[in-house]
Structure 1
Amino acid sequence: MSTPLLQVESLSQRYALPRTAGWRLATVQALASVSFTLPAGRNLGVVGESGSGKSTLARLVCALEAPHCGSVRFEGQDLHRLSPTALRAARRGFQMVFQDPFGSLDPRMRIGHSVAEPLRGLRLGSSAEQHARVAEMLEAVGLNATDSERYPHEFSGGQRQRIALARALITRPQLIVADEPVSALDVSVQAQVLNLMQDLQERYGVTYLFISHDLAVVDLICDEVLVLQHGQVVEHGPTDEVLRHPQHPYTQSLLAAAL
């Protein structure tokens, strides 16, 4: 039996709340025993209202913070048990795309420098090879190689998200964790970016963990849906089954609100 691309087991996370009167330190449970398996080539959509734990899950999957308990295994490796050196090497296989592309791009840095950042951080390739890879990735997302000399403010929101995709793809990852990647874009631009993501998947064989509150977007791009409520999984299954025949009242309420 082949090893899943991503396996999350009993993942939980707590955060301390600001201390108030008294000595007791209050906490909030952001995730509670979340488990799922994501095979290569199948896209998983994670849906839920704000505060349901979606972004916390994305950060834990990308090892941007440590969980309270549970494990995240990428290609069989428990990311949160790796040494810093081993984790840095593993990061070549997974990257993240954030909701606000402008906020994730340094306004003082030319686009080519930003797109090449993962290569420099992972020490992949010579300067000439990095420059060639940047040109390739910019053209793959529908921009021009010469755009590498421009700054973020010179692009539209949709173009900046294309740049973010180019940066995520530059290490040729197997997995991209996309945290609300189109929610800040106009509807027409959303469709263009989603179509691009599907084209990039076919071209590079990438798998998406797609975080979203928009069920229509998830319906378009995802093979399976996982529904989070207050940090707990309340429903999980094939997209068509969950969105056409929801079993849990919370999923039903999300669908009713989207109509």
Structure 2
Amino acid sequence: MSTDPSTLLRVEALSCSYALPRRLPWRPAGRVQALRDMSFEIASGASLGIVGESGSGKSTLARTVMALQAPDAGRVLLKGRDLHQLDAAALRKARSDMQMVFQDPYGSLDPRMSIAEIVAEPILTRSGFTKAELHQRVREALEAVSLRVADMKRRPHEFSGGQRQRIAIARALVTRPRLIVMDEPVSALDVSVQAQVLNLLQELAKWQGLSYLIISHDLAVVDHLCGEVLVLREGQVVERGTPDAVFGRPQHAYTQELVAALPR
């Protein structure tokens, strides 16, 4: 792997596995391999898509990159720091540069909290912010995703699915991160709303210099947002390249099957 200073995220030889239920109490539990020797880089301002069918290891990759799950082997380096070697305080600080947006916009938002509280949550534990500064950060994040500041006191159930996903994106933006990891960011939304959210993400990348790691089974989402794509099958990368090359001229039989199944 390169040591280019423009590299924002570097994943090196990442492997992860899960223990299977014991079939017999006197026999050791088996393991299933979710990721196998996976490596890639994301440069500052660039975006990478990871595609594959369910069970290919996409969500395991997202959790491991976010240091929510420890790998069996390999490293995840954000700006040169191995996230899985940091103590709790250093990891919290590192997460200011990296946030996550989940698949279900409603399930990831606490229904008891106001929108202002939800968006402010990632920076509440950080010292040095006055109440006025917190309010300004929340205001800026909401305005960035085209939501009204007047709605700060409302609860998640009062918004549509597309608006709730915008709230989730605002919460990710409030720390002013360099990288946002997105696990199926629009699959729970109607098609017309998907287009609105994808266009918003594209604009944010352009104007704020964000990098995205997009985890998706939807090739069209990755084609719209990413400059490079990795095709994942059973935890291994079977093909990589630009979306035009991978989706337009797929070389691996598995990629050809994925492209053939894409609605026209």
- TM interval, short-chain normalised: over 0.9
Unmatched 5+ stretches in structure 2? none
CA-to-partner distance for each residue in 1:141-164, whole Å, 9 max, x for gaps?
Answer: 011112110000000000000000
Cross-structure match for 1:199: 203
- Give the CA deviation at 1:123: 3.4
Cross-structure match for 2:181: 177
Whether the 8 Å contact between 2:46 and 2:210 is mirrored in structure 1 is no
Cross-structure match for 2:143: 139
Whether the 8 Å contact between 1:110 and 1:152 is mirrored in structure 2 is yes
CA-to-partner distance for each residue in 1:209-257, whole Å, 9 max, x for gaps?
Answer: 0011111111111100000000111011111111111111100000001
Cross-structure match for 2:99: 95
Match of 2:15 among 12, 15, 28: 12
Whole-Å Cα distance in 2 between the matches of residues 228 and 4 of structure 1? 22
TM-score, normalization: structure 1?
0.98
Whether the 8 Å contact between 2:53 and 2:233 is mirrored in structure 1 is yes
Cross-structure match for 2:256: 252
CA-to-partner distance for each residue in 1:95-154, whole Å, 9 max, x for gaps?
Answer: 000000111100011111010000113335222211111111111101111211000000
Runs of 4+ in 1 over 6 A off after TM superposition: none
Q: Which amino acid aligns with 1:161?
A: Q
Whole-Å Cα distance in 2 between the matches of residues 204 and 119 of structure 1? 19
Whole-Å Cα distance in 1 between the matches of residues 89 and 142 of structure 2? 29
Whole-Å Cα distance in 1 between the matches of residues 261 and 27 of structure 2? 41
Cross-structure match for 1:153: 157
Structure 1 counterpart SS, 2:76: strand
Whole-Å Cα distance in 2 between the matches of residues 57 and 34 of structure 1? 9
Range with greater deviation from structure 2 (235-244 or 176-185):
235-244
Whole-Å Cα distance in 1 between the matches of residues 199 and 254 of structure 2? 29
Q: For the structure 1 residues 124 and 97, does the alpha-carbon distance in structure 2 shift closer, same or farther, using more than 3 Å as the test?
A: farther
CA-to-partner distance for each residue in 1:17-69, whole Å, 9 max, x for gaps?
Answer: 12222422111111111100111111100000000000100011111111111
Match of 1:238 among 235, 242, 245: 242
Whole-Å Cα distance in 1 between the matches of residues 239 and 146 of structure 2? 36
Unmatched 5+ stretches in structure 1? none
Q: Which amino acid aligns with 1:2?
A: P
Range with greater deviation from structure 2 (123-132 or 6-15):
123-132
Whether the 8 Å contact between 1:47 and 1:213 is mirrored in structure 2 is yes
Range with greater deviation from structure 2 (232-241 or 123-132):
123-132
Whole-Å Cα distance in 1 between the matches of residues 90 and 39 of structure 2? 24
Q: Which amino acid aligns with 1:178?
A: M
- Give the CA deviation at 1:3: 4.6
Structure 2 counterpart SS, 1:149: coil
Question: What percent of counterpart residues are identical?
Answer: 62
Whole-Å Cα distance in 2 between the matches of residues 26 and 124 of structure 1? 48
Q: Which amino acid aligns with 1:31?
A: L
Whole-Å Cα distance in 2 between the matches of residues 205 and 190 of structure 1? 22
CA-to-partner distance for each residue in 1:58-98, whole Å, 9 max, x for gaps?
Answer: 01111111111100000001110111111111110000000
Cross-structure match for 1:163: 167
Match of 1:41 among 30, 39, 45: 45
Structure 1 counterpart SS, 2:193: helix
Range with greater deviation from structure 2 (14-23 or 243-252):
14-23
Structure 2 counterpart SS, 1:194: helix
Whole-Å Cα distance in 2 between the matches of residues 124 and 9 of structure 1? 35
Whether the 8 Å contact between 2:6 and 2:44 is mirrored in structure 1 is no
